[in-house]
Amino acid sequence: MGYQYPSVPATSEEFLADGLNDKVTFFGCGEDAPTFVYIPNHFVTFPSNTSTFKFAYDDEELQGMLENGVAQVAANPRSPAAPKAIGCLIASEAGLSTPGECVDLLEEYCWTPPTEERSMDDPPTSQSARPDIPHSVCLAAVAATVISFLSLRYVE
């Protein structure tokens, strides 16, 4: 059994047009699917966008990438409230009460799919039309996010 994949932009053009390549974005808010926190990888303090074919990193590279990951969230001028918004998302997903500020932050950071105009001849799109994602993929995404949050806590 797998989880449904959250709604994401249908094309790279839509992704770029919405400016999602430059800011922290949440996919899947309010859906019957996992909510993904997208943090665009870019240089802030370290050139972390390395080749996917590089499998080994020395301690200096690893530390640089971790620090850059924290800076991508904490010091991104395009997503200045991202740390608060991530906290709001975690509290909201856990069913905890959240301050009123969270409503505005979640509205700002949650990506909303465009509404499509359909004729009566077009079949409706349903959650079941999305591909299932194996649990292992979801758990890996959650683990990576938790590691990022933990690193935020310990780096000042």
Least confident of 40-49, 74-83, 99-108, 112-121: 112-121
Residue 27's CB: how many other CB atoms inside 10 A?
20
What residue segments make up the domains of the chain, in order of their start? Answer: 2-81+110-115+128-154
**Quick one: average pLDDT of 13-32?**
92
Look up the pTM and report it. Answer: 0.68
- Provide long-range contacts, Cβ within 8 A and 24+ apart, for 53-61: none
For 94-137, what is each residue's pLDDT tens digit? Answer: 999 999 999 999 999 999 988 764 344 444 443 334 444 444 44
Question: Does 145 have pLDDT greater than 90?
Answer: no
